[in-house]
């Protein structure tokens, strides 16, 4: 292992510190849950580069923020590389003892997305050393990307009125430049009926039957999405993901509930989603018993203009590495969308493939990590600006 490059040594160190997002579960070993330990490690690593890092967030859900300032900075970039990972149930490899096989690094978080942060650390080290830093860079390792992005909100609060000009969020895109993805809105719909003994159902009102009428109407309401596809992202989608209801076969149920997963286009908000679902409930004629209980945006959609500095700088850095700077789209949500909701345009880029993220054999190809180091170097040295 002596011949590992600095970026791969950083990556192995980061994987070896568990930072599992509990994602609402309480059955996980406490020693692998939360981002605090990896945030502290990053704070020390940034300190070795001469940067003061702040730790923000509560309850072990810690994010790390630091800034490197350039003289005569052309702009301010924020690099967001989330430090949480999904849980490790059923993994075929040791999730926290990163092995190297076939020019890949294996381990939980290897591609999603500790490789992004590892590449950034090494690029920063090179550029601070050669004195060619051309932009201010806010380095963020944020908690909780995998669930509700509390890390981004903690970081924005910490930054106060200071706002970067643009954001680069690292995620496994196989080094493709991503400027657009759909958003995710989760809606909970509840039917309220009246319970009674099932031997005489006429005495009650069956919440499951009421909800069933609403479900069919909500599902049907998604048909129109194909009439107005987004030119790059395609149509919005809707899926009823969970249904709960009833206590026993011999009780007419008084309550039943569904959760609806809605993938939104850039011009759609949670309010629009809620109105559409309520309209579907009305058209089923059950609006007095079936109501939307909650409607929350888990990840906002992303659509960054191709003429923005975010796209221009990243595309230029990719081109200088002989890679395509064309914009693409992904099917998953990212924290770039959360920064976008806050008015900061952003792109998504990083080593590794989403196809192996969250899997039992997560890995990242070493050559992509090394290329990402050079892409970051070029961005930090002013790619996209006047040459």
Torsion angle (degrees, nearest 10) of CA 149, 155, 160, 162: -110
Minimum CB separation of residue 248 from Zn ion in Å reads 42
CB nearer to Zn ion: give 112 or 297: 112
How far apart are CB 334 and Zn ion at their closest, in Å?
A: 7
User: Which residue in 222, 214, 229 sits closest to 185, CA to CA?
Assistant: 222
Q: Tell me how many residues contact Zn ion (CB under 5 A).
A: 3
Structure tokens at 306: 């191709």
Q: Which is nearer to Zn ion, 273 or 338 (CB)?
A: 338
Q: Does 171 bind Zn ion (CB under 5 A)?
A: yes
85 binds Zn ion, rule: CB under 5 A: no
Residue whose Cβ sits closest to Zn ion: 112
Beta strands in the chain (DSSP E): 53-56, 63-68, 76-80, 100-101, 104-106, 136-141, 166-169, 177-181, 183-192, 196-197, 237-245, 251-252, 255-264, 290-299, 302-303, 327-330, 346-348, 363-365
Beta strands at 196-197 and 251-252: parallel, antiparallel or unpaired? antiparallel
Query: Which residues, numbered 224-253, are part of the site for Zn ion (CB under 5 A)?
Result: none
Q: How far is the CB of 219 from Zn ion (least distance, A)?
A: 30
Q: How far is the CB of 332 from Zn ion (least distance, A)?
A: 8
- Alpha-carbon gap, residue 147 to 334, rounded angstroms: 10
CA distance 232 to 179: 10
Least gap, CB of 78 to Zn ion (angstroms) = 16
How many whole angstroms separate alpha carbon 301 and alpha carbon 184? 7
Pick between residue 309 and residue 356 the one whose CB is nearest to Zn ion.
356
Q: Indicate whether 35 belongs to the interface with Zn ion (CB under 5 A).
A: no
String marking each residue 109-148 x if it binds Zn ion according to CB under 5 A: ---xx-----------------------------------
Binding region for Zn ion (CB under 5 A) out of 163-171, 216-224, 295-303, 347-355:
163-171
**Nearer to Zn ion among residue 113 and residue 264 (C-beta):** 113
Helical ranges in 101-229 per DSSP H: 115-130, 150-159, 207-221
Using CB under 5 A, list all residues that contact Zn ion: 112-113, 171
């Amino acid at each position: 292992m002596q011949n590992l490059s600095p970026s791969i040594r950083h990556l192995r160190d980061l994987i070896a510190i568990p930072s599992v997002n509990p994602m609402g579960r309480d059955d996980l070993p406490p020693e692998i849950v939360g981002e605090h330990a990896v945030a502290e490690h990053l704070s020390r690593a940034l300190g070795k580069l001469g940067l003061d890092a702040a730790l923000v967030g509560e309850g072990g859900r810690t994010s790390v923020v630091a800034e490197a300032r350039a003289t005569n900075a052309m702009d301010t970039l924020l690099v967001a590389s989330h430090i949480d990972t999904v849980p490790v149930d059923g993994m075929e490899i040791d999730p926290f003892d990163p092995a190297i096989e076939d020019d890949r690094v294996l381990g939980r978080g290897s591609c999603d997305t500790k490789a992004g942060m590892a590449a950034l650390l090494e690029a920063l080290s090179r550029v601070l050393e050669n004195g060619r830093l051309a932009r201010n860079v806010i380095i963020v390792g944020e908690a909780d990307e995998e669930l509700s992005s509390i890390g981004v909100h903690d970081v924005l609060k910490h930054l106060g009125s200071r706002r970067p000009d643009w954001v680069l969020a690292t995620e496994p895109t196989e080094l493709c430049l991503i400027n657009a993805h759909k958003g995710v809105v989760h809606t909970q719909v509840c039917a309220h009926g009246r319970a009674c003994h099932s031997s005489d159902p006429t005495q009650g009102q069956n919440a499951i039957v009421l909800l069933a009428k609403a479900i069919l109407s909500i599902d049907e309401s998604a048909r129109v999405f194909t009439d107005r596809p987004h030119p790059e992202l395609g149509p919005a989608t809707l899926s009823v993901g969970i249904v709960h209801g009833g206590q026993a076969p011999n009780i007419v149920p008084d309550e039943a509930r569904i959760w609806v997963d809605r993938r939104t286009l850039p011009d759609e908000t949670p309010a629009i989603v809620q109105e559409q679902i309520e309209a579907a409930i009305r058209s089923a004629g059950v609006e007095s018993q079936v109501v939307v209980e909650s409607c929350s945006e888990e990840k906002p959609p992303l659509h960054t203009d191709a003429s923005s500095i975010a796209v221009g700088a990243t595309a230029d850095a990719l081109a200088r590495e002989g890679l395509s700077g064309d914009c693409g789209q992904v099917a998953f949500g990212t924290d770039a969308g959360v920064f976008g909701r806050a008015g900061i345009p952003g792109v998504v880029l990083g080593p590794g493939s989403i196809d192996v993220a969250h899997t039992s054999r997560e890995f990242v190809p070493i050559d992509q990590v090394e290329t990402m180091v050079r892409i970051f170097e070029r961005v930090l040295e002013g790619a996209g600006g006047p040459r």
